[in-house]
Amino acid sequence: MLNFEFSILDFIQNLHSSFGDFVMPLISESGSGGIIWIVFAGILWIFPKYRKYAIIMLIALTLDVVICNLTLKPLIARTRPFDVNPVKLLVKAPTDYSFPSGHTAAAFSAAFSLLFGKNKLWIPSMILASLIAFSRLYLYVHYPSDVFAGILLGLIIGMISNIIYNFAESRIRGKI
């Protein structure tokens, strides 16, 4: 399996260009710490008709941190591809574990939370999430299975965040 993953990473390495080498680190950095998604939720919060989506997105990002970064990464403790097959990185080498991709999981948690919340902003969010996921492969900091797991985790968290919000909202409305 690892050989197959390296063949995908090596294929992507052949796609490198000066434009890609400039833009992919920027795209990847936009997902660091989920900052772009937190800012996006903050913008949604400003508008009362979109506040619901800000809350759902923040629930998703919180679940993502707990499940991905605090639980799965240390539990699985997978080394990164550049540690196994050294390459010249375009970004500072991450120091945490590889599986699952935290950038990808956060991005897709936010995007899927909007999709399942039936907000049309899921479309540009999904495009950005996909670019962030691809950037992690382009930058050689994740295996394809790390990214795939991040997408799957984002899907599950996006669903769960909507369930939590809807349950809490129905409980609050029932008590008023």
Paired tokens of 149: 């797991």
Q: What is the pTM of this model?
A: 0.93
d(CA 139, CA 14): 12
> Maximum CA pair distance of the chain?
60
Per-residue pLDDT of 2-51, as tens digits, reads: 789 999 999 999 999 999 999 999 999 999 989 999 999 999 999 999 99
d(CA 126, CA 166): 22
Least Cα distance to 115 among 156, 77, 83, 158 occurs for 158
Mean pLDDT to the nearest integer, 100-129? 96
Least Cα distance to 140 among 21, 36, 18, 35 occurs for 21
Mean pLDDT to the nearest integer, 118-143? 96
Q: Could you tell me the CA-to-CA distances from 158 to 7, 65, 80, 100, 147 in Å, in that order?
A: 31, 13, 26, 16, 16
Report whether pLDDT(176) > 60.
Answer: no
CB-based contacts of 33-38 (< 8 A; 24+ apart in sequence):
34/61, 34/64, 34/65, 34/106, 34/107, 34/110, 36/128, 37/61, 37/106, 37/107, 37/109, 37/110
Per-residue pLDDT of 77-93, as tens digits, reads: 999 999 998 889 999 99
d(CA 176, CA 165): 17
Q: Is the peptide bond before 144 cis (omega within 30 degrees of 0)?
A: no
